[in-house]
Amino acid sequence: MFVAFYHGVSDGWPGLIDRSIQSVLAGDFSHCEIVFEPGDGVEQFVDDKNLEPDATGAYWSASASMMDYMPEGSPRQGKLGGVRFKRIRFSSKNWTRVPVYLSAYEAAKFFYERRGKKYAIKGTLSHALKFLRFTPGTYNCSLICAGALGYPEGFRFDPCNLFIALATFNALMGSQPLEQRQKSWIEYVKSFTRENAFDGWNTLDWPENYLA
């Protein structure tokens, strides 16, 4: 499993959105996805029950997108914008990969339990317009990915600072064994939250002043 950060620019009007987000965030990234690889053991959560890349080289990933229609079987099937699983080709031309050494099962389950939830338009705009707040039960890419990785206060992240947080952790861990990385991760995410906010996997802590 790894997190992919989009540093490219899409064709047409979606490219304007990419550039706008990169400009507002003063960074390289406009979107992020959690990507599942063969051996991650999360086949039960994806439509074709197969984690191998398809004929085009596309892998299963999960995130929240405002430009995708919710797939068949989703609680909001056919509706635009929300949490979804999707096959994507993650070429180095457009994506930067950051490995994560956590439970792929817990991450995939986190997404699966929230599939079809609405996209957080107000929450995304709050990165530029600070008076806006997330509407409860809505997600953007950085919130849902951070939550799937164990951050209780994922609303604090955008694609650029989530990349920094993950890359920093990997740099700090160096070549430590997997088990030690996983233990250290829990302590690491706690450092990003208020005292006693961390409550374990599948927790999103929503301070009242961040709700609409």
Sign of CA dihedral 196, 199, 204, 206: negative
Are the CB atoms for 75 and 141 separated by under 8 Å?
no
Please provide the average confidence, as pLDDT, over all residues in the chain. 86
Q: What percent of the chain has pLDDT over 70?
A: 89
183: pLDDT strictly greater than 50: yes
pLDDT for res 102: 82
pLDDT digits (tens, 9 = 90+) for 130-175: 888 888 899 999 999 999 998 877 888 999 999 999 998 888 887 7
Locate 125 and state its tokens: 């705009």
Are the CB atoms for 82 and 10 separated by under 8 Å?
no
Beta pairing partners, 96: 5
Q: How far is CA 16 from the centre of its chain?
A: 21
pLDDT digits (tens, 9 = 90+) for 40-90: 999 999 999 999 999 999 999 999 999 999 999 899 999 999 999 999 999
CA–CA dist 138, 180 (Å, integer): 33
Cβ-in-10-Å burial (0-12, 13-18, 19+) of 210 comes to middle
Locate 177 and state its tokens: 């064994």
Are the CB atoms for 69 and 78 separated by under 8 Å?
yes
Coil, strand or helix at 50: coil
Are the CB atoms for 137 and 117 separated by under 8 Å?
yes
* C-alpha torsion angle, residues 29, 38, 50, 99 (rounded to 10): -20
How far CA 113 is from CA of 71, 75, 90, in Å, comes to 15, 10, 24
- pLDDT band at 205; cut points 50, 70, 90: very low
CA–CA dist 83, 112 (Å, integer): 9
CA–CA dist 25, 32 (Å, integer): 14
pLDDT for res 1: 94
CA–CA dist 52, 39 (Å, integer): 9
pLDDT for res 201: 34
DSSP state of 158: -
Are the CB atoms for 45 and 85 separated by under 8 Å?
yes
- pLDDT band at 193; cut points 50, 70, 90: low
pLDDT digits (tens, 9 = 90+) for 27-43: 999 999 999 999 999 99
Coil, strand or helix at 40: coil
109: pLDDT strictly greater than 60: yes
